[in-house]
């Protein structure tokens, strides 16, 4: 049962603008929940590949700012 309540190792949040992505760490109190921010907040385009074919754009090829939170080691 402990496995059911375990927090995910990584959480990635997408936002249309930089500021909401940057504020998410504080808004959700991620540090107190055992997370740190990984890397930089950057705009990214997302694609999905299924099988051996070519990848296809997600979100109509629109770029979103992505911020990833990672569980802190040893806590």
Q: What is the DSSP string of 35-64?
A: EEEEEEEEEE--EE--TTS--EESGGG--E
pLDDT of residue 2: 46
- The verdict on residue 10 lying in a domain is yes
Total domains in the chain come to 1
CA–CA distances in Å: residue 33 to residues 7, 10, 42, 47, 66: 9, 12, 23, 30, 19
- The verdict on residue 48 lying in a domain is no
Tens of pLDDT along the chain (75 residues) come to 445 567 889 999 999 999 999 999 999 999 999 999 999 999 999 999 999 999 999 999 999 999 999 998 744
pTM: 0.76
- The verdict on residue 22 lying in a domain is yes
- The verdict on residue 54 lying in a domain is no
**Containing domain of residue 8, as a range?**
1-40+67-75
pLDDT of residue 6: 77
- The verdict on residue 1 lying in a domain is yes
pLDDT of residue 5: 64
């Amino acid at each position: 049962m402990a496995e059911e309540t375990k927090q995910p190792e990584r959480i990635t949040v997408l936002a249309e603008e930089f500021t909401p992505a940057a504020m998410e760490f504080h808004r959700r109190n991620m540090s107190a929940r055992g997370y740190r921010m990984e890397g930089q907040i950057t705009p990214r385009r997302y694609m999905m590949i299924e099988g051996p074919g070519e990848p296809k754009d997600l979100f109509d090829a629109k770029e979103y700012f992505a911020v990833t939170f990672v569980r802190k080691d040893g806590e």
